[in-house]
Amino acid sequence: MIKGEAGTGKTTLALQLIEVLSDQQPEYYLSTRVSDVALYNQFPWLKERVRNNQLLRAGMAFMRRSWIKEGERKVKPTEDVENEVEVDRRELNRLEGQIEAGELGLEDEDSSSMHLDGSIVVELGSLLPELEMAYDIVESNLPKMTLVVLDSVEALAENYGIPSNRIVNALQKDLVEKAGTNIIFVMETVERSHLDYLGDGVINLRNIVLGDHRVRTIDIEKLRGSVIRNWRYLFTLDGGRVRVMDRNLDLSTIKLDRSDKGGLAKGRSSFGWSELDRLFGGAPLGSLTLLEVGAGVPMDLLERMELALVSEQLNHGRCVIWYPQRTLDHREIPSIIAQAGGPSALNGLHILDASDIVDETNSFVKKVEGENLANDLRWDSLKFLMKGAKEPCASIIGLDALESVYGTNVVPKLLQHIDAMRRGGHFVLIEGTDGSENIESLSHQARLHIRLENVNGSVVLHGIKPSTVYHCLEVEDGVTRWVPML
């Protein structure tokens, strides 16, 4: 059972299941909500399958059956009947019998007529034509298994004027249990119901709201006979197809591809990662870029993002002033920058360290006092470090690390450094977490504000300034890509 509210992607998922299983079993797809034209526009392959494999629709049911006036089904020649494998139609006949008796069903003048004596004559066969067609197709394919998709059960029940549970029960008993048919019921009712106990699998598609945007999730409520290790996944309908995003990615071996030369607009500098440049057009020069990090974002990703930016700057002979968000092993800096694609010579790198023990043998490490932030970030001192380097230079500052050393009220003095970098046409990247005291204040100063989050084990990103849709991190063959969550 595929359940979900309108627009969550139920029909898309059902049709993709047909496409995936098309080589294994014939299918019957019944849609009562979406027109043929709309489906063909969204799924071009569907029209070809209808033509070649007789993937039948509701409107064709009336043309494929013939009935006698008394309401009895035509009997095939004796020699054919002997070899015919039939589907047990007990529940369907019971349903039609109740409709004939007036206990259930539509009040449809086309399917019944009242005589002068008050009796009602119902033409059998026009009662449940779509379901009759499903039974016929299953029967014609026996002993081979058939896939039947009803989209949706509520819409079909509305057309027939009978409860949806009666349709599900009839098909479950006749086709699933007795004929071994695979049936996908598309349900418009999201709430739990007693019908969930009948299904071997219950999938719920949802739209959850994150901030001002929505993100789609696929919830596995039930999967009989299978272990459900992860019950919720993010998915997107980007490209008109259901695309489920991976969880708990191993990011320890990934590499972030650099951007091609000349791909950025004037007044922008590369982040060192082509995917960030693609989404935001690079880092705006003469401004502040704020990277906000939510709980659960993998450290491996953050480290590689920092190293990509540092390596990009050094490769162009530019200067980097770096106050790291976390403690670094200075001995490993040359090797990890080289692994990230940076140069072997670290002439333009200056790591500011306020710890008591600083390895003086590393020329790229600069000891700062850690008492007065304005003094440690004096512009004349930093300008001396930038001397001889190409412009624009970058300043990368870990906000949490800064607050732990200088206290929580760092914004006034930090803004002096930011303003000096702005006037010089350089750019500042500040990385902060949900626990940072000054994120909100700095957001007002930032031209570009990006947020990274962990949602159900998947890494997502979106722009706050400018506002963008959520994107989810995907890794395929070691290549990273941000996929829009549409």
CATH code of the domain in which 282 resides: 3.40.50.300
- Which of 200, 221, 238 is the endpoint of a domain? 200
Which pLDDT score is estimated for 408? Answer: 86
Same domain for 331 and 450, yes or no, is yes
Share of the chain above pLDDT 70, in %: 84
Q: 283 and 166 share a domain?
A: no
pLDDT of residue 108: 46
Confidence band for 72, pLDDT divided at 50, 70 and 90: very low
- Output the domain CATH number for residue 47: 3.40.50
Tokens 């119901």, located at residue: 193
pLDDT of residue 34: 67
Query: Residue 45's pLDDT is what?
Result: 66
Q: Which of 200, 234, 258 is the last residue of a domain?
A: 200
Give pLDDT, residue 193.
86
Look up the domain containing 321 and give its range.
Answer: 268-484
Same domain as 190, residue 44: yes
Q: Are residues 462 and 320 in the same domain?
A: yes
Residue 230: burial class (beta carbons within 10 Å; 0-12, 13-18, 19+)? exposed
Per-residue confidence at 37, pLDDT binned at 50, 70, 90? low
pLDDT value for 185: 94
User: Where is average pLDDT lowest: 9-13, 97-101, 351-355, 452-456?
Assistant: 97-101
The answer to whether residue 381 scores a pLDDT higher than 50 is yes
Pair 285, 194 in one domain: no
For the cut 60, the answer to whether the pLDDT of residue 120 exceeds it is no
Judge whether 73 lies within some domain. yes
Examine the domain organization and report whether 188 and 279 are in the same domain: no
- Give the N- to C-terminal CA distance of the chain in Å, as an integer: 23
How many CA atoms lie less than 13 Å away from 142 in the CB half-sphere? 18
Domain membership of residue 346 (yes or no) is yes
pLDDT in tens, 122-172: 444 457 888 888 898 899 888 889 999 998 899 888 888 888 888 999 999
Q: Domain end: 151, 172, 200, which one?
A: 200
With bands split at pLDDT 50, 70 and 90, how would you rate the model's confidence at 102? confident
Q: State residue 119's pLDDT score.
A: 46
Report yes or no on 257 lying in a domain: no
448 DSSP β-pair partners: 289
Confidence of residue 212 (pLDDT cuts 50, 70, 90): confident
Q: What domain count does the chain have?
A: 2
182 and 304: one domain?
no
Find, among 171, 175, 225, 178, the residue nearest to 200 by Cα.
225
pLDDT-based confidence at 74, cuts 50/70/90?
very low
Q: Is residue 231 part of a domain?
A: no
Distance (Å, rounded) from C-alpha 468 to C-alpha 64? Answer: 50
Q: What local confidence, expressed as pLDDT, does residue 219 receive? A: 95
Say whether the peptide bond before residue 44 is cis (omega within 30 degrees of 0).
Answer: no
- Same domain for 193 and 108: yes
Which pLDDT score, from 0 to 100, does residue 435 have?
Answer: 86
The mean of the pLDDT values for the chain is: 84
